Amino acid sequence: MKHDFNHKAETFDSPKNIFLANLVCQAAEKQIDLLSDKEILDFGGGTGLLALPLAKQAKSVTLVDISEKMLE
């Protein structure tokens, strides 16, 4: 499994995935009241497509992934 995601890391941040992640983040921002006092854990967070935009508003964000390549 780790090897599979290390291999996918090279193309994970495709324009399509970035667009879809932005849609998810916009929806999450509408549903989460005042992220400024929230701590977010993104387990299996890949390259951070979801966590990084939310980190601008949250108290803190911790991103964990099994693939070292995803975290680069």
| CATH number of the domain enclosing 23 | 3.40.50.150
Q: Tell me the pLDDT of the chain (72 aa) as tens digits.
A: 656 667 777 777 788 888 988 888 788 777 666 667 888 899 988 888 888 888 888 888 999 998 888 888
Q: Count of domains in the chain? A: 1
Helix (H, G, I), strand (E, B) or coil at 52: helix
Residue type, 25: C
Which pTM does this prediction carry? 0.64
Question: Under a CB-based contact definition with an 8 Å cutoff, are residues 38 and 59 in contact?
Answer: yes
In this prediction, residue 15 carries a pLDDT of 86
Residue-number span of the structural domain to which 41 is assigned: 2-71
Tokens of 23: 């849609």
Helix (H, G, I), strand (E, B) or coil at 59: coil
Dist CA 70 CA 63 (whole Å): 11
Helix (H, G, I), strand (E, B) or coil at 51: helix
